[in-house]
Amino acid sequence: MGDDGAVVEMTREDFEAAVSDALDLVPRELTDQMDNVVVLVEDDAPSEDPTLLGLYEGVPLTERDLGWAAGALPDRITVFRNPTLAFCQDRDEVVEEVAVTVVHEIAHHFGIDDERLHALGWG
């Protein structure tokens, strides 16, 4: 939160635009390899983890077998607006944090775990 405890103000539309911009930063060679994934924005994180900024739900590409795709629901990457706004100091930091969150969750889709992400500098 900001030094005064205030949450950064950003409309849902502006936040969704920041997520879209973050997706545009991901190299095309990666996005072309993303398979059956939707990226969503939700206002609030799950009640069991209210400060969560993003979440990947699905089967990483590294764990899929030949029979996986038949009738499978899309993997979901969700970016949570309110926790992100509360975590950041200003709009620029929101944009930066959204980009880090999007890359982080896409990495999970490719089977890269948190330990490896931290080693690569993606906290």
Q: What is the pLDDT of residues 59-87, one digit of tens each?
A: 887 887 765 566 678 899 999 999 999 99
Give the predicted TM-score (pTM) of the model. Answer: 0.85
Q: Cα–Cα distance between 31 and 105 in angstroms, integer?
A: 12
How many Å separate Cα 48 from the centre of its chain? 18
The answer to whether residue 1 is domain-embedded is no
d(CA 55, CA 76): 8
Distance CA(9)–CA(1), nearest Å, equals 11
2 is a domain residue: no
CATH number of domain containing 90: 3.30.2010.20
| C-beta neighbour count of 13 within 10 angstroms | 8
Q: Please, which residues have CB within 8 angstroms of residue 72's CB and are 6 or more apart in sequence?
A: 36, 59
Judge whether 41 and 101 are in contact, CB under 8 Å. Answer: no
Residue 49's domain comprises 12-61+73-119
pLDDT in tens, the chain (123 residues): 444 566 899 999 999 999 999 999 888 888 888 878 999 999 999 999 999 999 999 888 788 776 556 667 889 999 999 999 999 999 999 999 999 999 999 988 888 888 887 787 765
Count of structural domains, the chain: 1
What per-residue confidence (pLDDT) applies to 63? 81
Distance CA 29, CA 18 (A): 21
Task: Please check whether residue 3 lies inside any domain of the structure.
Answer: no
What is the per-residue DSSP string for 57-107?
Answer: ES--GGG--TTTTTTPPPEEEEEEHHHHHHH-SSHHHHHHHHHHHHHHHHH
